């Protein structure tokens, strides 16, 4: 009977499965439920590469002290995940030993979903648990990646060197749990198979005697579960960067299972840099160290040196020159007036701005405020003729003050009587008072201007002749 796995259809899980290269690495699927020893081939895709009698265990059997899970003929151990796992001897002897002379070994092998790619880094892991029946524990089990099945027609050790070993060399003596063995390596061939077991010949096997309720056994037997091979992509920082300001360097699509260290000493998936240089990030995943670098070029900004905001007496000066500063010969300059020279002459008050750009430099801009400090903010005609002919029918002063200035205008007769009063810049007098025409004569006008921009406070006066 084929067991069917129900897998949630989430993108994250599908992505993870797409990376896993050991189908049925958890020994969950099978072609037939195991009911006797030496049936590893009933776990879908798994096989015995030698004449050893590797076993398959699964809870589907449900018969204690057989090939069931968790209770079977080698002891009691729940699966690391799910309901199934495999088992094999590391070495075996029918008599008590003080060394490991017996070279009999067993292994489990599976074809990878796709061959490995040379030059790519892969992380490999599997979990082992020492069976209760074992009298000995060993300090190393390994995973061998190979282009062909490492076949032997006997039960002796496969003497190839595995890429993944128990690097701690601690005794694998846990009978009540699982020990993770993992590592990473860079493939140098199109490896297509993974084999797990003891790759040390008998005399080279490091072992230790462990407590057991089966004192007449003289072997070391391990369960194995959750065998995995996955590629690890190096971190990606993207193309080199030319910038005019601080820039955030970020790892693209970072892995949740990895840590990231930067050449600056910082940790995390991103850093902020504001200087030129070469920056490196190193990924650490399962002891695999992969790096990427990016060159950051922070260009120098152009320097504009406009004068500070200033006031100019345009009554005394017709034009005022301002300069953008000393710029490189290949700089492009544009003023708010439309001029493209490094200096301009300004004939009136206002805000003047300039922008500059040049190759290998960051653009820059600056502005300055020029205010009019002229003491005479008004020009007033000295006569007008309100006769209705459309020429000089009203009298109106022309103010020279900056925008926002407070302006007051008053016209009085010779006795000081106010005839006209206004604070509007465009106000004009038509020679009447309440609709009554004033006679021909000389009248006095009084003006008061307050300009907050240039700080002037001018009181002005004069005479205007009304002619009829």
| Segment (H or E) for 442 | strand 441-451
Rounded distance between C-alpha atoms, residue 238 and residue 255, angstroms: 16
Q: What is the pLDDT of residue 251?
A: 96
Three-state DSSP class for 310?
strand
Last residue of a domain, one of 282, 298, 314: 298
Question: What pLDDT, on the 0 to 100 scale, is given for residue 6?
Answer: 30
β-strands 55-58, 84-92 pairing: antiparallel
- Whether 3 is in a domain gets the answer no
| pLDDT for res 229 | 97
The burial of 389, by beta-carbon neighbours within 10 Å (0-12 exposed, 13-18 middle, 19 or more buried), is given as: exposed
Neighbouring-strand partners of residue 46: 110
Within a domain: 45? yes
pLDDT at residue 277, as a whole number: 95
Residue 9: the pLDDT is: 33
**Do residues 181 and 312 both lie within one domain?**
no
- Residue 263 structure tokens: 């050449």
pLDDT for the residue numbered 115? 97
| 422 and 460 share one domain | yes
β-bridge partners, 322: 344
Note whether 15 and 95 are same-domain residues. yes
The whole-model pTM stands at: 0.64
5 in a structural domain: no
Shared domain for 81 and 187, answered yes or no, is: yes
Is residue 285 within 8 Å of residue 320, measured between CB atoms?
no
For 302, residues 6+ apart whose C-beta sits below 8 A from its C-beta are: 327, 328, 331, 356, 357, 358, 361, 362, 363, 364
> Which is nearest to 461 in space by CA: 373, 380, 375?
380
Residue 1 within a domain? no
All residues at 6 or more sequence positions from 70 whose CB lies less than 8 Å from its CB, including other chains: 59, 76, 77, 78, 79
Q: How many CB atoms lie within 10 A of CB 221?
A: 22
Residue 75 in domain: yes
Q: How many helices (H) and strands (E) would you count in the chain?
A: 1, 36
Residues 325 and 404 in one domain: no
Q: In the listed set 336, 353, 372, which residue is the last one of a domain according to the structure? A: 372
Are residues 95 and 192 both part of a single domain?
yes
Same-domain check for residues 209 and 108: yes
pLDDT in tens, the chain (468 residues): 222 233 333 333 333 334 899 999 999 999 999 999 999 999 999 999 999 999 999 999 999 889 999 999 999 999 999 999 999 999 887 676 666 666 789 999 999 999 999 999 999 999 999 999 999 999 999 999 999 999 999 999 999 999 999 999 999 999 999 999 999 999 999 999 999 999 999 888 999 999 998 877 889 999 999 999 999 989 999 999 999 889 999 999 998 889 999 999 999 999 999 999 999 999 998 788 999 999 999 888 888 888 888 878 777 777 788 998 888 788 899 999 999 998 999 888 888 999 998 887 888 888 888 877 665 567 788 889 998 888 889 988 877 666 777 888 899 998 889 999 998 878 899 999 999 999 999 999 998 888 777 677 778 888 899 988
- A 10 A CB-CB count for 377 gives 23
Domain that holds residue 337: 300-372
In this structure, what is the dihedral angle of CA atoms 369, 372, 373, 374, given to the nearest 10 degrees? 170
- Tell whether 58 and 134 lie within a shared domain: yes
436 within domain boundaries: yes
Start-to-end CA distance of the chain, whole Å, equals 124
Residue 104 lies in a domain: yes
Question: Per residue in 339-374, is it b (16+ CB within 10 Å) or e — as a string?
Answer: eeebebebeebeebebbbbbeebeebebebebbbbb
Distance (Å, whole) CA 468 – CA 463? 16
Tally of domains in the chain: 4
> Among 135, 142, 134, 158, which Cα is nearest to 221's?
134
What CATH number is given to the structural domain containing 362? 2.60.40.10
What pLDDT, on a 0 to 100 scale, did the predictor assign at position 308? 86
In the β-sheet with 332-335, what is the strand arrangement from edge to edge? 310-312, 364-372, 350-357, 332-335
Contacts of 6 (CB under 8 A, 6+ apart): none
CA separation for the pair 398, 25 (Å, rounded): 94
CATH of the domain at 209: 2.60.120.260
Query: What are the residues whose beta carbons fall under 8 Å from the beta carbon of 21, sequence distance 6 or more?
Result: 112, 113, 114, 116, 122, 229, 230, 231
Query: Is 423 inside a domain boundary?
Result: yes
* Domain at 291, CATH number: 2.60.40
8 A C-beta contact, residue 392 and residue 330:
no
Same domain, 77 and 196: yes
Q: Are residues 19 and 137 in the same domain?
A: yes
Boundary residue ending a domain (213, 232, 251): 232
Same domain (yes/no): 144, 32:
yes
DSSP letter string over 384-411? Answer: E--SSSSSS-SB--EE-PPTT-EEEEEE
- For residues 184 and 66, membership in a common domain is answered with yes
CATH code, domain with 401: 2.60.40.1220
Q: How many CB atoms lie within 10 A of CB 51?
A: 14
């Amino acid at each position: 009977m084929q067991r069917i796995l129900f897998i949630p259809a989430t993108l994250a899980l599908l992505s993870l499965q797409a990376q896993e290269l050991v189908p049925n690495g958890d020994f969950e699927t099978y072609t037939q439920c195991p009911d006797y020893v030496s049936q590893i081939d009933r776990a879908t895709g798994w096989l015995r590469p030698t004449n050893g009698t590797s076993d398959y265990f699964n809870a589907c059997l449900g018969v204690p002290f057989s090939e069931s899970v968790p209770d079977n003929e080698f002891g009691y151990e729940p699966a690391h995940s799910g309901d199934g796992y495999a088992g094999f001897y590391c070495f075996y002897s029918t008599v008590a030993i003080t060394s490991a002379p017996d070279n009999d070994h067993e292994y489990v092998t599976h074809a990878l979903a796709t061959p490995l790619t040379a030059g790519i880094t892969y992380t490999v892991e599997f979990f082992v648990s020492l069976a209760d029946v074992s009298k000995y524990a060993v300090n190393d089990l390994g995973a061998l990646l190979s282009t062909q099945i490492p076949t032997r027609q006997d039960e002796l050790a496969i003497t190839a060197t595995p890429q993944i070993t128990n690097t701690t060399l601690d005794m694998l003596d846990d009978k009540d749990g699982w020990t993770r063995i993992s590592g990473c390596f860079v493939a140098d061939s199109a490896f297509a198979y993974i084999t797990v077991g003891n790759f040390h010949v008998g005399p080279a096997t490091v072992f230790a005697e462990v407590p057991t309720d089966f004192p007449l056994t003289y072997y070391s037997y391990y369960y194995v579960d959750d065998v995995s091979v996955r590629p690890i992509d190096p971190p990606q920082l993207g193309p080199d960067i030319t910038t005019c300001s601080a820039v955030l360097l970020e790892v693209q699509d970072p892995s949740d299972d990895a840590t990231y260290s930067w050449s600056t000493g910082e940790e995390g998936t991103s850093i902020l840099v504001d200087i030129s240089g070469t920056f490196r990030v190193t990924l650490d995943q399962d002891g695999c160290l992969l790096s990427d670098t990016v060159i950051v070029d922070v260009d120098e900004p152009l320097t504009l040196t406009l004068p500070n905001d200033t006031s100019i007496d345009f009554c005394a000066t017709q034009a005022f020159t301002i300069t953008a500063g000393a710029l490189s010969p290949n700089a492009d300059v544009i003023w708010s007036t439309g001029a493209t020279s490094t200096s301009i002459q300004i004939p009136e008050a206002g805000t003047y701005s300039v922008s500059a750009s040049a190759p290998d430099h960051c653009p820059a801009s600056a502005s300055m405020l020029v205010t009019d400090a002229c003491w005479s903010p008004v020009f007033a005609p000295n006569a007008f003729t309100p006769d209705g002919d459309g020429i000089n029918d009203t009298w109106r002063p022309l103010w020279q003050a900056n925008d926002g200035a407070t302006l007051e205008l008053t016209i009085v007769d010779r006795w000081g009587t106010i005839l006209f009063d206004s604070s509007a810049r465009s106000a004009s007098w038509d020679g009447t008072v309440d609709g009554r025409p004033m006679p021909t004569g000389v009248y006095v006008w009084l003006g008061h201007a307050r300009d907050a921009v240039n700080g002037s406070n001018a009181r002005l006066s004069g005479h205007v002749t009304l002619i009829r």
